[in-house]
A and B are shown apart, each in its own frame.
Chain A
Amino acid sequence: MNTAPISPIRLFIPQDVAALAVGAERVVKAITSHAAADGTPITITRTGSRGLFWLETLVEVETLAGRIAYGPVNPHDVPGLFNAGFLLGGAHPLRLGRMEDHPWLKGQTRLTFARCGIVDPLSLADYEATGGYKGLRHALAIGPAAIVETVTKSGLRGRGGAGFPTGVKWKTVADTKAPQKYIVCNADEGDSGTFADRMIMEGDPFCLIEGMSIAGIAVGATKGYIYSRSEYPHANRTMRAAIAEAYRTGRLGADILGSGVTFDLELRVGAGAYVCGEETALLESLEGKRGQVRAKPPLPAHKGLFGQPTVINNLISLATVPVILAEGAAYYADFGMGRSRGTMPIQIAGNVRHGGLYETAFGVTLGEIVEGIGDGTATGRPVKAVQCGGPLGAYFPPILFDTPYDYEAFAQRDGLIGHGGVVVFDDSVDMAAQARFAMEFCAIESCGKCTPCRIGSTRGREVVEKIMAGREVDANLVLLEDLCATMKFGSLCALGGFTPYPVLSAVRHYPEDFRRRHAAAAE
């Protein structure tokens, strides 16, 4: 380029907490002070993350050839980048080119995460320029019954883990007469290995606001709550700012977008209790009580928050609603396999080289996710186990890597996809220790309401410890199986009911890890 730019050069640097955790703030400072010293005018737009966390801090520069990315940038790389003319897209070892052409993004189908990492999360102008509020406008035009039908036809299922059809839930609430109904967003994303909700709140919060507003119109609810986590202070700040902006511009409140429809929205923050991710415990917590699980029935759709009919959906389900309304049910349902329609934001985490958020249609195999997309372990050692679906999800050995990513296919192999977390472990992991942790975690987080979970988890940890110590291993393994059956079939909710999945999958697939002391003693 031979003409000097007349306006400031625009840079994009994530403010996502994962980028901050690897030093994004120091990179911003280094670039700002270097540009000031050079007398080069620049503006830096803080975005969410595109979800390629091994490339953070990812710095993008707006050029005539598009947004040219550099990463992973550390503060000490900054002088070299300026010398290489990176503000004009110059060549440098960290230059990645346009992210749209990056293979990790090109292989994805980004519907829910279409804007994440690209736009300024608090700019409504950015949001609307990229299709924002198209879904809500359409929803207002077609009315409640047609909205519910569209969501039902899209095949969208709850992205929190249970996979219940979202449209059916909405229809139940729509058909229930009550003076007040509620939309509750479950953003209590406590599963290790998951960060999709967090990324939306930090990177595209208006998308959630739009999705919840559409849900409100569909079922006749005028009030919504987002229940987030205290472990997410950054996400909560961005989400609160977005809600305030939506109120300021008439997108929340008494007359949304001039339609005459009322929808109020408030963010509430949990207090470190994992079990509050369970929907009825969450409702109790929102009411200001101990987060104890309720027996069902009644369903929240009939008697939910403050005893009123309530749609309680996972954040990703609600954030997917705008694109379904904007593009149509068929567009969304065209992606996926079997009864798992649309896309899933898979979160690849733990000991993995290319960790991050990968949104793709259902059907990709677990092996492709771990070895292909994730590129194996970060430590370079062989993969030993992959835990799918959070702390209540099964451990999969490489021999099951042909399992397609699909609700039913995972269930057939005694696993669950849950909220989409995939945590990779290398061969240094001791699976007996992981089984013990699963029981220990259940004991720490049990709400105490039902006995199989409250007592079973503590007894379970003790039994695993006896096995690890080589004491009566065969008898204790039988006892552990029996205890797991009691927890699985006798617990009120998924905490006690699903803790057996990681425990029994570890026993089944890695028997040698439970017989170490036993074998050593026999020699």
Chain B
Amino acid sequence: MPSASHRPTWDPFRAEAIIADHAQMPGALLPILHALQEEFGHVPEPAVPLLADALNLSRAEVHGVITFYHDFRHDPSGRHVVKLCRAEACQSMKGEHTASHLLRRLGIDWGGTTPDGSVTVEPVYCLGLCATAPAALVDGEPHGRLTPESLAGIVEEARRA
């Protein structure tokens, strides 16, 4: 899988700086993991021993936290990330039908990235856009009342940009 071109590659010095910025916070691990993912697009494996050292935890504990939370990626995402809601309010407005259209069109499954590395589709359970369902965040921007056609258009537009 091609790595996401918009993110910097692994840089232990940058990672250590991010960890040091947060290490004094009480309960610092989640804020650090968010910051690492923000920087690298995922939580790179070599960050685990650095985190364990800085926070006086075992590697197993750090690994346990990273794998517990759905948000933290173990591999780089595509250049564009589509977070599609699969929860009940979106189901009631044919969200699953809209989602399966997109996945078929892109030739991927939930959590997958297109072979050209351009789009990753991730499931989310509720964006709080339940009265404008079905809904998605595309590169962090909200879209509501989606249809298979409108969603395909939004994703294509993001891909071209």
Contact = CB atoms under 8 A, between A and B. Distances in A.
B129 A17 contact: yes
Given A350-B93, A351-B92, A351-B93, A192 B87 contact: yes
A18 B145 CA distance: 10
Contacts of B129: 17-18, 21, 195
Nearest to B65: A290
A231 B88 contact: no
Nearest to A276: B69
Say what secondary structure dominates the interface of chain A. mixed
B70 A273 contact: yes
Contacts of B33: 271
Contacts of B145: 21-22
A355 B30 contact: no
- Chain A CB within 10 Å — which of B133, B137, B145 has the most? B133
A391 B88 contact: yes
A496 B135 CA distance: 27
Given A192-B130, A271-B72, A21 B143 contact: yes
Given A192-B88, A192-B90, A193-B88, A53 B132 contact: yes
B13 interface: no
Interface string B28-65: 11110110000000000000000000010000010011
B64 A290 contact: yes
Contacts of A67: none
Of A22, A291, A347, A423, chain B has the most CB atoms within 10 Å of the CB of: A423
B35 to A, nearest CB: 11
A17 B68 contact: no
Nearest to B29: A288
A272 B71 contact: yes
Contacts of B131: 18, 53-54, 195, 347-350, 352, 355-356
A289 B132 contact: no
Interface string A275-315: 00000000001111111100000000000001000000000
A268 B128 contact: no
Interface in A379-405: 387, 391
A350 B130 contact: yes
Q: B27, B72, B90, B137: which has the most chain A beta carbons within 10 Å?
A: B27
Contact of B144 (A21, A194, A271): A21
Interface of B: 26-31, 33-34, 55, 61, 64-65, 68-72, 83, 87-93, 124-133, 135, 137, 140-145
Contacts of A351: 92-93, 133
Contact of B93 (A20, A22, A289, A378): A378
Contacts of A21: 129, 132, 135, 142-145
Nearest to A285: B30
Interface of A: 17-18, 20-22, 53-54, 56, 189-195, 197-198, 230-235, 268-274, 285-292, 306, 347-352, 355-356, 378, 387, 391, 421, 423-426, 429, 434, 437, 441, 444-445, 447
Sorted from nearest, which 5 A-B pairs have the closest CB atoms? A355-B131, A21-B144, A288-B29, A192-B87, A349-B130
A425 B92 contact: yes
Contacts of A198: 128
A496 to B, nearest CB: 17
Contacts of A290: 64-65, 68
9 contacts: A21-B144, A195-B130, A272-B69, A273-B68, A287-B27, A289-B65, A356-B131, A434-B88, A437-B88
Contacts of B132: 18, 21-22, 53, 56, 355
B128 A232 contact: yes
Contact of B92 (A235, A391, A426): A426
Given A271-B71, A272-B69, A349-B133, A231 B127 contact: yes
A505 to B, nearest CB: 13
A79 B24 CA distance: 55
Contacts of A387: 88
A269 B22 CA distance: 14
Contacts of B144: 18, 21-22
- Of residues B28, B69, B70, B92, which shows the largest number of chain A Cβ atoms within 10 Å of its Cβ? B92
A286 B88 contact: no
Nearest to A234: B142
B33 to A, nearest CB: 7
Q: Which of A189, A306, A355 has the most CB of B within 10 A?
A: A355
Contacts of A423: 88-89, 92, 130
Contacts of A269: 30-31, 34
B101 to A, nearest CB: 17
Contacts of A268: 27, 30-31
B89 A193 contact: yes
A453 B83 CA distance: 27
Contacts of A190: 125-126
- Interface centre among B69, B72, B141, by most chain A C-beta atoms within 10 angstroms, is B69
A472 B27 CA distance: 50
